[in-house]
Amino acid sequence: MPFIVERSFANPTRRMLLTSLVLCSGLFCGCVQVLRPYNQASQQKFRVKSAMPLHYTISVANESEYRVAADGRVIVDVPQLQRGCDTYLFDIVKISDGSPYNLRVIQLKSNNHVVRKLSLNDVAKLPVDEKGYHLLTVE
């Protein structure tokens, strides 16, 4: 006589377990990571609007530090930054952005204290003066 085991999914614990296993396997199996391209090395021009611009420096990617001139202007070199990965759910819905343009690697400092952190996307949104310098207003 064969031994028959009856397994019922009417039990709420088993149903929840099965549902969570299906959801987790769908999430983990359906994620795709896409490697982003590197940013282009560039120069960025800033004009620090402050009563005392000589008290400020700008550091880029913790590699280079630039002193701000008496007129508030400074030109900085932005190196090629580390690239990240974009994560997509089922290769359709973007979950995270690993763009190097979103990394806050530009820091405005006063007496070695960070006053403001900027990414390349943040810099692109700043107002520009007549000579092409991005305006950084400090209060």
pLDDT tens sequence across 73-120: 999 998 888 878 877 777 778 777 777 888 898 999 998 899 999 998
Residue 4 is predicted with a pLDDT of 62
Is pLDDT above 70 for 121? yes
For the chain, percent of residues with pLDDT exceeding 70? 88
Maximal CA-CA distance, the chain = 97
> What percent of the chain has pLDDT above 90?
28
CA proximity to 135, closest of 116, 110, 112: 116
Residue 47's pLDDT band (cuts 50, 70, 90):
very high
Nearest 5°: the CA angle 133, 58, 125 is 45
Q: How many residues does the chain have?
A: 139
**Beta strand segments in 36-112, E:** 42-49, 56-60, 64-67, 73-78, 85-89, 93-96, 106-110
Q: What's phi and psi for 86, nearest 5 deg?
A: -90, 140
Cβ–Cβ < 8 Å for 133, 45: yes
Q: How much is the pTM?
A: 0.68
Query: What's residue 12's pLDDT?
Result: 77
Residue 58 has pLDDT above 70, yes or no: yes
User: Which H or E element spans position 31?
Assistant: strand 31-35
Residue 49 has pLDDT above 80, yes or no: yes
